[in-house]
């Protein structure tokens, strides 16, 4: 079996790139190379691997797979999404500046403000749904513009092409957290992004059974520097976790199709429900950036946030669901339901939540791929 060309379809590449049969045994499933070190034939002579912090064959396979799916040239993987963002920070030096979206996954500003700021990195947060705010915030020392689209949990979108054009004119690189859409529905590199970040913990793994992160690179320089950071700082993904994500991406296309189909129907059901005050979903024509969603995404995905009107209503809904699992995280085959104000966005405080319009009555749903009728029946009884 040969590796498919980069022009092959998404599902073909997802199943085959990095999943070539094992040359020594013919095993169709990639082996998990549970080894720390590698026998050397003589001084200085290896088979390409010398120590698993620097490189591991199972990790190489996953990195090739993810690079292909995002249209990048390399995809160094890390122990978690946050470890990937940490590795990105390791490419900077004291005095460097990042312009970041003011509505990011809560862990990212926590890392930036409470860890990286101590090392002299500087951060400015702006509402990137209007690219002109990015233009105004860029300084001489800005290295990266860091965005997430759609945002968690308000589903605000940032125009990747517009922000990339602005950043490139000023000599900075654009990093896009593409976790919510996965490369199946959104490929930021096509719109000018320089680095694509994922928490592979979510849709790429898809089964809620492992943590990981990736930084998909577009230049040789980024790839070399991040490979060095993997070796030097060591927050790499373990071979077993790599194997889980490789296994996960094989079904990414079919899972995302179902997530999207169910997401659309669920959003429409919630929009019509009298107990639901507002629905945040980029696939609804009422979404203020519906047109941008159609332009830069090929599907709308499974992430839906609803306004129930009060903390008491949100609590009641979360207590009453039976099939939906209440918990952090998203992107698994099972439907997960959460309360952003007290869970994912507790760290930014009440003032921070108010500033981005995140209320105590909001509930976020990651629509899984169970039978849709069962999911709707569960929400119907929980809302009723
Ligand atoms: C979960 C998540 C992260 C952090 O990833 P971990 O794997 O939990 O470290 C970053 N960004 C987004 C959008 C996420 O959902």
- Mutate which of 82, 155, 158 to test ligand 1's pocket (most atoms within 8 Å of Cβ)? 82
Among protein residues, the one with the nearest Cα to ligand 1's atom 7 is 81
Please report the pLDDT score of residue 1 as a whole number. 59
Number of domains in the chain: 2
Beta carbon of 366 within 6 Å of any ligand 1 atom: no
Q: Is residue 20 part of a domain?
A: yes
For residues 66 and 178, membership in a common domain is answered with yes
Q: Is residue 298 part of a domain?
A: yes
From 200, 229, 250, the end of a domain falls on 250
For residues 358 and 237, membership in a common domain is answered with no
Expressed as residue numbers, the domain containing 266 is 252-383
For residues 280 and 233, membership in a common domain is answered with no
Among protein residues, the one with the nearest Cα to ligand 1's atom 5 is 81
Q: Is residue 1 part of a domain?
A: no
For residues 202 and 264, membership in a common domain is answered with no
The Å distance, Cα 212 to ligand 1 centre, comes to 9
For residues 71 and 163, membership in a common domain is answered with yes
* Distance separating the N- and C-terminal Cα atoms of the chain: 54
Please report the pLDDT score of residue 184 as a whole number. 98
For residues 213 and 294, membership in a common domain is answered with no
Q: What angle do CA 340, 257, 153 make, to 5 degrees?
A: 15
Closest among 338, 342, 14 to 182, alpha carbons compared: 14
Q: Is residue 243 part of a domain?
A: yes
Those residues with Cβ within 8 angstroms of residue 228's Cβ, 6 or more apart along the chain or in another chain = none
Report helix, strand or coil for 100.
Answer: strand
Sort 334 into a burial class: Cβ within 10 Å, 0-12 / 13-18 / 19+. middle
Give the largest CA-CA distance in the chain. Answer: 73
Beta carbon of 211 within 6 Å of any ligand 1 atom: yes
Q: Is residue 156 part of a domain?
A: yes
The predicted model scores a pTM of: 0.97
From 197, 221, 250, the end of a domain falls on 250
Q: Is residue 2 part of a domain?
A: no
Please report the pLDDT score of residue 178 as a whole number. 98
The Å distance, Cα 139 to ligand 1 centre, comes to 27
Beta carbon of 202 within 6 Å of any ligand 1 atom: yes
For residues 138 and 287, membership in a common domain is answered with no
Please report the pLDDT score of residue 348 as a whole number. 83
Residue 339 belongs to domain with CATH number: 3.90.1150.10
From 250, 284, 317, the end of a domain falls on 250
Show which residues are catalytic: 53, 105, 177, 202
Number of other residues whose CB lies within 10 A of the CB of residue 357: 11
Residue 130 belongs to domain with CATH number: 3.40.640.10
Mean pLDDT by 10 residues, the chain (384 residues): 84 98 95 97 95 98 98 98 98 98 92 97 97 98 98 95 98 98 98 98 98 98 98 98 98 98 98 97 97 98 98 97 95 97 88 92 98 98 95
Q: Is residue 5 part of a domain?
A: no
For residues 294 and 212, membership in a common domain is answered with no
Q: Please state the atom number of ligand 1 nearest to the C-alpha of residue 107.
A: 4
For residues 236 and 327, membership in a common domain is answered with no
For residues 238 and 271, membership in a common domain is answered with no
Q: Is residue 32 part of a domain?
A: yes
For residues 199 and 66, membership in a common domain is answered with yes
The Å distance, Cα 111 to ligand 1 centre, comes to 12
DSSP symbol at 140: T
For residues 108 and 237, membership in a common domain is answered with yes
Sort 220 into a burial class: Cβ within 10 Å, 0-12 / 13-18 / 19+. exposed
């Amino acid at each position: 079996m040969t590796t498919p060309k980069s022009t092959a379809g998404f599902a073909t590449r997802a199943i085959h790139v990095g999943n070539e049969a094992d040359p020594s045994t013919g095993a169709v499933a990639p082996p998990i190379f549970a080894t720390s070190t590698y026998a050397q034939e003589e001084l200085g002579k290896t088979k390409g691997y010398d120590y698993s912090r620097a490189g591991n064959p199972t990790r190489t396979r996953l990195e090739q797979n993810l690079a292909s799916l995002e249209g990048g040239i390399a995809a160094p993987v890390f122990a978690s999404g946050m470890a990937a963002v940490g590795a990105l920070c390791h490419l900077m030096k004291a005095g460097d500046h990042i312009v970041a979206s003011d509505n990011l996954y809560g862990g990212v500003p926590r890392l930036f403000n409470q860890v990286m700021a101590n090392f002299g990195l500087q951060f400015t947060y702006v509402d990137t749904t209007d690219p002109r705010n990015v233009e105004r915030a860029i300084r001489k020392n800005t290295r990266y513009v860091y965005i997430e689209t759609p945002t968690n949990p308000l589903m605000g979108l940032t125009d990747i092409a517009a922000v990339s054009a602005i950043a490139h004119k000023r000599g900075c690189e654009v990093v896009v957290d593409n976790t919510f859409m996965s490369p199946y529905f959104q490929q930021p590199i096509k719109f000018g992004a320089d680095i694509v970040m994922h928490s592979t913990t979510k849709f790429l793994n898809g089964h809620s059974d492992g943590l990981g992160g990736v930084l998909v690179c577009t230049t040789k320089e980024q790839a070399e520097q991040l490979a060095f950071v993997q070796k030097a700082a060591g927050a790499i993904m373990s071979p077993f976790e790599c194997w889980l994500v490789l296994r996960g991406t094989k079904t990414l296309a079919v899972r995302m199709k179902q997530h999207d189909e169910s997401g659309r129907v669920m959003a429409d059901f919630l929009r019509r429900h009298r107990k639901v005050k507002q629905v945040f979903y980029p696939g609804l024509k009422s979404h203020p950036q519906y047109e941008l969603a159609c332009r830069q995404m090929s599907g709308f995905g499974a992430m839906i946030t609803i306004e129930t009107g009060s903390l008491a209503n949100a609590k009641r809904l979360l207590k009453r669901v039976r099939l939906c699992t209440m918990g952090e995280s998203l992107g698994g085959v099972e439907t997960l339901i959460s309360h952003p104000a007290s869970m994912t966005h507790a760290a930014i405080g009440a003032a921070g939540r108010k500033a981005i319009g995140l209320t105590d009555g909001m509930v976020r749903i990651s629509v899984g791929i169970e039978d849709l009728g069962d999911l709707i029946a569960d929400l119907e009884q929980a809302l009723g």
